[in-house]
Structure 1
Amino acid sequence: MTEQFIPPAGHAQAASAAAGAAGATTAAAANALTHVVDLPPTAGAEPPRAVRLKARGGDRVFLTVLAGSGILVLTVIAVIGGFLGSRASQALHAAGGGFLTTAAWSPGNGTGRASSFGVAGILTGTVLIGLVAIVIAVPLAFGVALYISEYAPPRLRPFFTSLIDLMAAVPSVVYGLWGFLFLEHRAVGVAHWLATYLGWIPGFQVTGARVHDPLAPLTVYTASTFIAGTVVGLMITPIVSSMMRESFSQAPLGEREGAYALGATRWGVIRTVVLPFGRGGVIGGAMLGLGRALGETIAVYMIISLVFRIQPHILQAGASSVAALIAAHYGTATPFELSALMAAGLVLFLVTLVINLAASAIIARSRSGRDSG
C-alpha cells in the first residue's frame, strides 16, 4: 500500500499563491525586457559626443611654441630652396636638361659652346663617398649602440654614451686634418691590399696600378673616395649610434621579461625583441647618417683631389663632391660660375632633403618611432 502525503489546505493555498506570484514576476520581467528592447529611438536624440581635452595655461603655450617651431623650420627650408633656385636659374637655363647628365665642369662665362658643365660626375662622387661612409659607420654604430644599451654595466652606460656623443662635437676640420696627416698614409696599404685581392670587383679596380709589383708607388691610392669615405664614416658614427641606441633602449620591458620567462637567453631577447623593435631606428639612423655624409665639406675637401668625371673606382686617386666643389671655387667664381655652383648646391639640397624625409617616414612608421611620438 503506497502512502501519499497530502499537504494541509492552508499550505497548499500558500504554495499556489507563491507560485503564482513568481510566475507573474517572471512574466512582468519578460514583458519589461521586451518593452525595453523594442523601444523605438527617441526623436531628435543627439549622438554621443567625443570627449576632447582642452589645453589650458602652460599646455596651450607649449602647443603654440611647438607649432610655431614646426612652421618656422618649414619656412626656413622653403626660403633656402627658393634662394638657391633663384640664384641658379641663369645656369640652369644655359645648361638645360644636360645639367644632370654632363660630367665635365667648365661653366666659363656662360657664352658660346665652350661652356659645358653638369653634376653627373660630382654627384656620382658625392654618392659614392656617402655609401663608403655608411658601409663603415653602420656596423660600427650598430655594435656600439647594442653594447651600450644591452651589455654595458648600468653604472658605465652614461659614461660611454657621453664619450660617443662627444665625437659629434669634434669640428669637421679636425677630422680632415687627422685624415690627411695620419690616416691617408696608413690607409694606402689597405687600399693596395683590396685592389690586389678584390680587384675583380668593378669598384675596387685601380687603373694603371701595378698591384703585384712591390716597388710600384702607392700614390695612386691617395686622395681617393675610400679615404674620404672612411673619415666621413667616423664623423657620422655618433649620429647613427645615437639613433640606434635610443631605439634599442625603448624596447618594451614586458616583452623582454616575457622572453626571459620563456627561457630565452640575453641574445635570444635581443634577437626576438630588441632588434625587431628597433629595426626602424636602424634604417632611419643609417639614412640620416647618409644625408649628413652627402653634405660634408671641409673634411672631404682637405683629402680628395677633385676630378670632373664619373669615377666609379673608389680606391683610385681622384674623387669629386658637390660640397667640396663649392668650397674650392666659390671664392674665385665669376657671376655665371657662381650661378652654376648654386645650381649644384640646389641638386645636393634636394637629394639630402629627400633622404631625410624618407628616413623620418621610416622612423615614424616603426614601433619605436610611434612609441616615442
Structure 2
Amino acid sequence: MSSPPDALAIRDAEDPRSRRDARHDRYFRWLLMACALLVLASLLGAAGATLWGGRQAFGTFGWGFLTSTAWDPSNDVYGALVPVYGTIATSLIALIIAVPISFGIALYLSEVAPPWLRTPVSSAIELLAGIPSIIYGMWGLFIFAPFFSEHIKPFLTSYLGDSPDDGKVSWVASHVPFIGKLFASSYPFGASVLTAGIVLAIMIIPFISSVMREVFQTVPTRLKESAYALGSSTWEVSWDIVLPYTRSAVIGGIFLGLGRALGETMAVTFVLGNAMELSPSLLDPGASIASTIANQFSEAVGLQKSTLMALAFLLFVVTFIVLLIARLMLRQLKKREGI
C-alpha cells in the first residue's frame, strides 16, 4: 500500500530540513574542534618557541644548566638551579599557608556563617581575586616586608635559627639542625623567599577558597541533614561528608592556585630580593624564573637572552609536571571511589 499523499509531502519537506540540520551540526562540531585545537596549538607554539629560543643555552651548558648555581653575565656563565629552586620554594610555601586558610574560609561560608554574612564575605573574596598582582607586590614591598623585617624575622632567627645575632643557638636549632638552617639569616632587609611565599599565599587564597566554597555548596542537603540527624557535629559532617564528596574538585582548586603561584611575576619580583645565590635559609633573598626573566630580559642579548628563554621553557616543564601530578592524583581518587 502506497503512502498517503499528505505523508509523502511531509517526508519530502522534512528531508531537506534534516539534511540542513545535519550539515549545520557538522559545521558546529568542526568549529568547536577548531577552538579546542587552537588552545592546544597555542600551548605547543609557546613551548616550542621558548625551547627554540633557549637552544643556544641548552647546547652550551648541557644538562649542567639544570644543576648549576652560577649566574655571571660578564663571563656568559649561567645556571638554572637558583631560579628553579626559588620558584618551587615560594610556591610550596604559599600552598602550605593558603590551603588550610582557604579550607577554613570555604567551610565557614558554606556550613557555619549566617546567611546575612555570606554574601558580603564572598564578594570581598572575589574582589581580592581581581586585584592586580602589582598591587600585592607594592603592598609587600612597602608595608609587609618592613614589618616582617622588624617584627617577624628577629623572632624566627632567635627562636628557630642556628645563628642569631646574640650568638646563642636556640633550643629548636640545637635539636633540629635542618630547621636551624632554614631560619638562619644575617640579611638585614625583609625581602626573602619566605616573604614572597606569604605574599603569594595571600594572592592565591581567594582563588582556592572560591573554588572550595562553590564545590562545597554542591553537596546534597539531604546527606548533611541525615548526618546531623544521626548526631554528627559540624566538624564531622564537614570532614566525613562534605570533603569526601568534593575531594576531586578541591584538589583541582588547590592545583589551580598552585599554577598561578608558579607563574606569578610582579608580586614576587618586588619581595623576593632577586639575588642569584642559592641559600638554604628561607629568610635570605632569592630569585624565581618569572622574576629573573622580568628583571633581565629587556637588557639581555646573545647567550643571556637564550638562557632566559631556556628558563621560560623550564617554567613550562615545571607547570606541566604539576598539572600531570594533579591529573594522576585525581585519577587515583576516581579509582578508589569506583568511578
Q: Normalising to structure 1: TM-score of the pair?
A: 0.73
1:182-214 deviation per Cα after TM superposition (whole angstroms, max 9, x unaligned): 11111121122112112221453324x4xxxxx
| 2:306 maps to 1:339 | yes
What is the rounded CA distance, in whole Å, between the counterparts of 2:239 and 2:26 in structure 1? 42
- The structure with the larger Rg is 1
Partner SS state of residue 54, structure 2: helix
1:64-113 deviation per Cα after TM superposition (whole angstroms, max 9, x unaligned): 555443322211111111111111111111111111010111255xxxxx
Determine if contact 1:132/1:230 at 8 Å carries over to the other structure: yes
**Within 5 A, what are the aligned runs for 1:258-269?**
258-269=226-237
Q: Structure 2 counterpart of 1:321, which letter?
A: S
**Within 5 A, what are the aligned runs for 1:57-206?**
66-107=32-73, 114-188=75-149, 189-199=151-161, 200=173, 201-206=179-184
Distance 1:270 1:124, change over 3 A: same
Distance 1:134 1:195, change over 3 A: same
Determine if contact 1:102/1:116 at 8 Å carries over to the other structure: no
What is the rounded CA distance, in whole Å, between the counterparts of 1:61 and 1:180 in structure 2? 53
**Within 5 A, what are the aligned runs for 1:361-372?**
361-363=328-330
In structure 2, stretches of 5+ residues that fail to align are: 1-20, 162-172, 174-178
Task: Kindly state the Cα deviation for residue 270 of structure 1 after the two structures are TM-superposed.
Answer: 1.3
Task: Kindly state the Cα deviation for residue 338 of structure 1 after the two structures are TM-superposed.
Answer: 0.9
Distance 1:270 1:205, change over 3 A: closer
What is the rounded CA distance, in whole Å, between the counterparts of 2:196 and 2:144 in structure 1? 10
Task: Kindly state the Cα deviation for residue 136 of structure 1 after the two structures are TM-superposed.
Answer: 1.9
What is the rounded CA distance, in whole Å, between the counterparts of 1:190 and 1:65 in structure 2? 55
What is the rounded CA distance, in whole Å, between the counterparts of 1:159 and 1:356 in structure 2? 33
**Within 5 A, what are the aligned runs for 1:31-50?**
none
What is the rounded CA distance, in whole Å, between the counterparts of 1:116 and 1:365 in structure 2? 43
1:140-172 deviation per Cα after TM superposition (whole angstroms, max 9, x unaligned): 211111111111223443332221011111111
1:251-276 deviation per Cα after TM superposition (whole angstroms, max 9, x unaligned): 23332232123222333211210122
Task: Kindly state the Cα deviation for residue 227 of structure 1 after the two structures are TM-superposed.
Answer: 1.1
Determine if contact 1:206/1:313 at 8 Å carries over to the other structure: yes
Determine if contact 1:124/1:311 at 8 Å carries over to the other structure: no
Q: Structure 1 counterpart of 2:293, which letter?
A: I
Q: Structure 2 counterpart of 1:190, which letter?
A: I
What is the rounded CA distance, in whole Å, between the counterparts of 1:227 and 1:336 in structure 2? 31
More helix by share: 2
Q: Structure 2 counterpart of 1:234, which letter?
A: I
**Within 5 A, what are the aligned runs for 1:269-308?**
269-308=237-276
Query: Which of 231, 237, 248 lines up with 2:205 in the alignment?
Result: 237
Partner SS state of residue 63, structure 2: helix
Determine if contact 1:284/1:362 at 8 Å carries over to the other structure: no
Partner SS state of residue 188, structure 2: helix
What is the rounded CA distance, in whole Å, between the counterparts of 1:148 and 1:60 in structure 2? 45
Task: Kindly state the Cα deviation for residue 356 of structure 1 after the two structures are TM-superposed.
Answer: 2.5
State the superposition RMSD in angstroms.
2.6
Task: Kindly state the Cα deviation for residue 366 of structure 1 after the two structures are TM-superposed.
Answer: 5.0
Partner SS state of residue 72, structure 1: helix
State the percentage of identical aligned residues.
38
Partner SS state of residue 282, structure 2: coil
Q: Structure 2 counterpart of 1:134, which letter?
A: L
What is the rounded CA distance, in whole Å, between the counterparts of 2:328 and 2:295 in structure 1? 35
Q: Normalising to structure 2: TM-score of the pair?
A: 0.80
In structure 1, stretches of 5+ residues that fail to align are: 1-54, 109-113, 210-218
Distance 1:282 1:222, change over 3 A: same
Distance 1:238 1:58, change over 3 A: farther
Query: Which of 298, 313, 326 lines up with 2:293 in the alignment?
Result: 326
